[in-house]
Copies of this chain bind each other. A is one copy, B any other.
């Protein structure tokens, strides 16, 4: 008997019919003797509908009130999933975040979980009930409803699994696992049976949309065995088969780890990026902060940052950001920063993509970067920025080459072979 936390995304609970399928699936696990905590997202489209209503009333809506409004979507889903379970004869009870309670800080719309009181859930499990907990939300110390930000239900599920010391956190979604590349771009892409926590972190930041990065961080911090699997299979799929499906996130020291021998595990692309270059910056201490400080203060997230060696006492600093933030960033740099730091020019390019290869094996293998650059060069793809970590190499290229780059890299590293 295992304690399992299952998270179901918005598509998985998108209609009464689909909620019934969720209940069938949960009932199957329950019937096999497992203890279940289920975390549903809001029904597909519901969160957007609520946020649009909020924005129609106040263009930059008050964060406390947005949270009060947006959290209702998951609360409704939780109750509906409980009803579907009860209809199957499975004892169940739903909880909003404040009822559990899931205590967070007070950073509305992007709150962080501080503590989870699992007593109430433990009592339900002991009584043979399935506990259904609304994802995406919590409550702060003053009793205000908070939300965890987009994709926050993944984080809710992993955090609940950590608090309950669950045997596995299962993230049911509309893809059937983590692939070596996006199968819509690379038909030969292969599902990974396991992926390490570090690789998953890099893949999330490299543009793979399978899991929200904060939930992966949480899984890593508390070493929560987390599996990504499909909610679109037949709910009556034999349990033994379903339990081995999808992709399991593993940790250093896990017995699973030794099995994973590939050097490169996957290729990911992040489109809709933009690049800013500040040219001819005087190369002196504090200059990077002078440029990026005002950007951060404006709430603009920066991704890759590259600064090269200096010539003649000046250097160029480039960084990437979401395409939508480019006009604001350019205005900020031209109006406030440029005269202050006395650079030569500021240029922006809004048609960029970041393509990354990720793999734990890179740590101990030379020549991976060289192979990546050669492969791209052979296709005539110009690399504009390079950024590396121990287990990831990212290049920023013209967006029009993004899909081609993913395909040729997938082939070059033979990712289609198990």
Contact residues of A with B, CB < 8 Å?
Answer: 16, 19-20, 23, 50, 53-54, 56-59, 61-62, 64-69, 71-73, 75-76, 78-80, 82-84, 86-87, 93-94, 96, 98-99, 143-145
Q: What is the CA–CA distance of A284 and B65 in the complex, to the nearest angstrom?
A: 63
Give 10 closest A-B pairs by Cβ, nearest first.
A69-B79, A68-B79, A72-B72, A16-B56, A58-B87, A57-B84, A57-B83, A58-B83, A65-B79, A65-B82
- List residues of chain B with CB within 8 A of the CB of A62: 82-83, 86
Known A-B contacts: A58-B87, A72-B72. Give 20 more (CB < 8 A): A20-B57, A23-B57, A50-B76, A57-B87, A58-B83, A58-B84, A59-B87, A62-B82, A62-B83, A65-B93, A67-B79, A68-B82, A68-B94, A69-B76, A69-B79, A72-B75, A72-B76, A72-B79, A98-B98, A99-B145
- List residues of chain B with CB within 8 A of the CB of A58: 83-84, 86-87
**Are A16 and B84 interface neighbours, CB within 8 A?**
no
Q: Could you jot down 20 A-B contacts, CB within 8 Å?
A: A16-B53, A16-B56, A19-B57, A23-B57, A50-B76, A53-B76, A57-B80, A57-B83, A61-B86, A65-B83, A65-B86, A65-B93, A65-B94, A66-B83, A68-B75, A68-B76, A68-B78, A71-B75, A72-B75, A96-B145
- A68 CB → nearest B CB, Å: 4
- List residues of chain B with CB within 8 A of the CB of A143: 99
- List residues of chain B with CB within 8 A of the CB of A80: 53-54, 57, 65, 69
- List residues of chain B with CB within 8 A of the CB of A56: 16
Task: Tell me whether chain A's interface is mostly helix, strand or loop, or mixed.
Answer: helix
- List residues of chain B with CB within 8 A of the CB of A57: 16, 19-20, 23, 80, 83-84, 87
Q: What is the CA–CA distance of A54 and B20 in the complex, to the nearest angstrom?
A: 11
- List residues of chain B with CB within 8 A of the CB of A145: 96, 99
Q: What is the CA–CA distance of A50 and B72 in the complex, to the nearest angstrom?
A: 12
Q: What is the CA–CA distance of A30 and B50 in the complex, to the nearest angstrom?
A: 27
**Are B54 and A69 interface neighbours, CB within 8 A?**
no
**Are A83 and B98 interface neighbours, CB within 8 A?**
no
- List residues of chain B with CB within 8 A of the CB of A98: 98
- A273 CB → nearest B CB, Å: 32
Q: What is the CA–CA distance of A65 and B40 in the complex, to the nearest angstrom?
A: 14
- A335 CB → nearest B CB, Å: 28
- A81 CB → nearest B CB, Å: 8
**Are A54 and B68 interface neighbours, CB within 8 A?**
no
- List residues of chain B with CB within 8 A of the CB of A76: 50, 53, 68-69, 72
- List residues of chain B with CB within 8 A of the CB of A67: 79
Q: What is the CA–CA distance of A73 and B57 in the complex, to the nearest angstrom?
A: 17
Q: What is the CA–CA distance of A79 and B54 in the complex, to the nearest angstrom?
A: 8
Most B CB contacts (10 A, CB to CB) among A56, A69, A76, A86 go to A76
Q: What is the CA–CA distance of A78 and B50 in the complex, to the nearest angstrom?
A: 12
Q: What is the CA–CA distance of A65 and B72 in the complex, to the nearest angstrom?
A: 14
Q: What is the CA–CA distance of A144 and B78 in the complex, to the nearest angstrom?
A: 14
- A349 CB → nearest B CB, Å: 36
Most B CB contacts (10 A, CB to CB) among A66, A68, A144 go to A68
- List residues of chain B with CB within 8 A of the CB of A96: 68, 145
Q: What is the CA–CA distance of A201 and B19 in the complex, to the nearest angstrom?
A: 43
- List residues of chain B with CB within 8 A of the CB of A87: 57-59
- List residues of chain B with CB within 8 A of the CB of A50: 76
Q: What is the CA–CA distance of A54 and B82 in the complex, to the nearest angstrom?
A: 10
Nearest opposing residue in chain B for A71, CB measure: B75
Q: What is the CA–CA distance of A346 and B314 in the complex, to the nearest angstrom?
A: 101
Q: What is the CA–CA distance of A224 and B71 in the complex, to the nearest angstrom?
A: 33
- List residues of chain B with CB within 8 A of the CB of A61: 83, 86
Nearest opposing residue in chain B for A144, CB measure: B99
